[in-house]
Amino acid sequence: MEKKVLRILILGLEYSALFASIVLVVYSFNNSNWEITAAALAVIAALIANFNSQRITWKQEDEFEADIEINFDLKTISRKVLLVIENTGCSRAYNVNFSISPELKVLNNRTIKNGNINFIEKKERIQYNVSYTVDMFAQNLSDERPKEYIVEYSFSQSENGRMIKRQKTISIEQYRMTTSPDSDLEDFYIKNSNISEKLEKLEKAILRISK
């Protein structure tokens, strides 16, 4: 929050300076004071350049920091639903805590209600095996399990830093009546389904060259 407030204050000051410079340009232009007009235009150009540079810098800062996402994943393992807690940022996330309401039924008659993880490295995923996709869709339809879950979670971007708190709703229902996303392995098989045909063509080409 402190970072957001500081950025708002900086932008407020810069917008005020930009507005004042524009007013000065109009005033000096109407009074044919070309030196002041030129100086004010130079200030406006510098402010615009600073805005662009600042935006890039802030974007890089945000991308470097740890950032936690929690969602269902139907893609990584074919025909399986996973609950994934992922650090999508570029630095380690600390003190990751989460709670799921209502509690999430997983395989072997177990449930997940809450959890805490000391840290998650950058780009690392923690995943829980929830259910077979077809079973979960069927249970959602028959009201054996909820269609939606509210996840509340928190994490810190430094070892003893301020906790960032978030809440979101997760579900697999958006995938109902659609083709389930292909896993990496399935995608490989699809792309290489005609590999024997390609090898046969390659063999014939080599034989023609060798004759």
Using CA atoms, how far apart are residues 82 and 133, in angstroms rounded to an integer? 9
pLDDT at 44 over 80: yes
Using CA atoms, how far apart are residues 106 and 130, in angstroms rounded to an integer? 4
pLDDT given for residue 8 in this prediction: 81
Mean pLDDT of 102-118: 93
Q: Is 83 exposed, middle or buried (0-12, 13-18, 19+ CB in 10 A)?
A: buried
Please give the order of strands across the beta sheet that includes 80-87: 68-73, 80-87, 125-132
φ, ψ of residue 192 to 5 degrees: the values are: -115, 25
pLDDT given for residue 167 in this prediction: 97
Say which range, 35-49, 100-114, 143-157, has the weakest mean pLDDT: 35-49
- CB 77 within 8 Å of CB 183: yes
Using CA atoms, how far apart are residues 71 and 64, in angstroms rounded to an integer? 21
Mean pLDDT of 165-180: 88
pLDDT given for residue 34 in this prediction: 81
- CA 85 from chain center: how many Å? 12
- CA 80 from chain center: how many Å? 22
pLDDT given for residue 17 in this prediction: 83
Q: Express each pLDDT in 116-153 by its tens digit.
A: 999 999 999 999 999 999 999 999 999 999 999 999 99
Mean pLDDT of 154-170: 93
Mean pLDDT of the chain: 84
pLDDT given for residue 101 in this prediction: 96
pLDDT given for residue 63 in this prediction: 66
